[in-house]
Amino acid sequence: MKKIGYIIILLILTSLLLLGFDFNRSKYPNEYYQVYLEGKILGVVKSKEKLEKYIDKRGDNLKKQYKVDKVYGPSSLEIKKIVTYDKKTNIEEEIYNKISELKPFTVRGYQFNIKNEFSEKTIYTIDSKIFEEAVENTIQTFVGEELYRLYKTDNQVKIETVGSLVENVYLEDNITFKETNISVNEKIYLDSAELAQFLLFGSADSKETYKVKVGDTIENVAFNNKISVEEFLISNPEFTSKSNLLFPGQEVVIGIPSPQIRVVVEEHIVRDVESVFKPEIRYDEDRIIGDDEIIRKGENGLNRVTQKTKTINGVIVFVDPESNEELKPTINQIIVKGKKNPPQIGNSLGWTWPTGNGYVITTQYGYRANPFSNKREFHQALDIAIGYGADIYATNNGVVSYIGYEAGGYGNYIIINHNNGYYSLYAHLSRSLVSVGQIVPSGHLIAYMGSTGASTGPHLHFELWVGKPHGGGYKTNPWSVL
């Protein structure tokens, strides 16, 4: 009898198999959740909520690291409801392990996109306030903490005689943001001070320290370490000007700012500036060559100049003159020279400033970030701004040796051969007033200031060469003669 029972059971099982019966399938449909990662199926779970809770529970270390309340799956993780007769499912741990092998988990935060004409970058923060505070700190670096506070509270001191007023501060960037899930593999800023350093320097590798030696000044420390004075002051905010004293053994920061945002400051400035006297040379037929005499000493005058300036990240890019009032006249120096010394030969007493008074030196001879490429370069010239159409003068006796145009650089420019080993070059001119071969005495009007070529605004790009420009000569610091 038992044998017959076994045979009946075996026949029933065989019949079920022949009929296609599946023990993993249910008689009634089930609502489960299919898990995808980047479009590929990882498995099926009974509960979406349980899987999300499991991911969050396993992310306790990430919650502590980023100071958040919840950890999420990767952004490409999808959990979709399905209806199936299939009873087979995966446990949460199995799906979690598959995810962790393929993609990082995420935390909730903010994505900021910064775009300007030079670059486009993305910054992640846990809290939007971190970004806002970092931007404010960066602005304060370029404006000055106290001045920026006065500007924001509308408490700046009004100009009675001389002084300055900040009229506008803004970012020349297109900044957008959104709240989103951020991969923990990304750099996520948790501290506004750290983000401010990134916005200012771009990288921690761009800073090092220098120990001050006897005789060091801010200017020579900056130059010897291939940064500008302005960059030194940005890296060392405890110093307020290049005239501040250093002491031996003092440690200062040598930083190369690479701002990730463009802070624009527009100012109204009234200042008293010296009007530098010019040498007037008179020739005496009775004097021999080299018999020179100063018969009247020169005296600088004083002018009250009113102008508006625009700076980007601490660098003046535009000067708009409004008025120039003479407070004290300039008395030019008079030099008598031997008649046989021809006027086309420059002399050591004849160097004069190439513009009128009220000028602003927007870029010194030294290291800087190129305003167009933002790359580091050695700027071998003086950039001098007054305003569009300002007079440009020959800086010494000489002969006009070249007049040309360079679209991607100098724009309209003039070269003068001083026939004493020096050549001077005047660039970004709006108009030239001389011709090649013309003899020009020191202080002769040769052109008008412009903004042709690669220029951020009206200014004179003034170079001094020892030897022929672009023909074997080399540039030298104009201050060596001026």
The answer to whether 305 touches 323, Cβ cutoff 8 Å, is: yes
pLDDT value for 174: 95
- The two tokens of residue 175 are 């900044």
Query: How many other C-beta atoms lie within 10 A of the C-beta of residue 140?
Result: 18
Across-strand partners of 125?
110, 189
CA dist., res. 156 & res. 422, Å (int):
47
Domain ranges of the chain: 25-103, 111-161+169-255, 263-480
Residue with tokens 């300055």: 164
- Structural fold of domain 263-480: Glucose Permease (Domain IIA) (2.70.70)
How crowded is the C-beta side of 185, counted as CA atoms within 13 Å?
Answer: 8
pLDDT value for 78: 95
First to last CA, the chain: 125
Across-strand partners of 320?
308
pLDDT value for 202: 87
Residue 467 sits at the vertex; the CA angle it makes with 276 and 448, to the nearest 5 degrees, is 40
pLDDT value for 237: 84
Is 390 exposed, middle or buried, given 0-12, 13-18 or 19+ CB atoms closer than 10 A?
Answer: buried
Query: How many other C-beta atoms lie within 10 A of the C-beta of residue 217?
Result: 15
For residue 382, give the amino acid letter: L
CA dist., res. 9 & res. 137, Å (int):
82
Strand order in the sheet with 163-171: 163-171, 263-275, 301-312, 315-328
pLDDT value for 101: 94
Report yes or no on whether pTM surpasses 0.75.
yes
Is 73 exposed, middle or buried, given 0-12, 13-18 or 19+ CB atoms closer than 10 A?
Answer: buried
What is residue 480's DSSP assignment? G
**Could you list the mean pLDDT of each consecutive 10-residue stretch along the chain, which spans 482 residues?**
57 50 68 94 94 94 94 95 91 95 96 90 96 95 91 94 96 95 96 92 82 94 89 87 92 90 96 89 76 89 95 90 93 83 74 90 88 83 94 94 94 95 96 94 93 92 95 93 86
- pLDDT digits over 14-49, tens only? 554 444 445 566 678 899 999 999 999 999 999 999
CA distances from 149 to 153, 200, 242, 313, 379 (A): 6, 19, 23, 18, 33
Contacts of 10 (CB under 8 A, 6+ apart): none
- The two tokens of residue 346 are 């420059």
Q: If you compute the radius of gyration of the chain from its CA atoms, what whole number of angstroms results?
A: 36
Contacts of 61 (CB under 8 A, 6+ apart): none
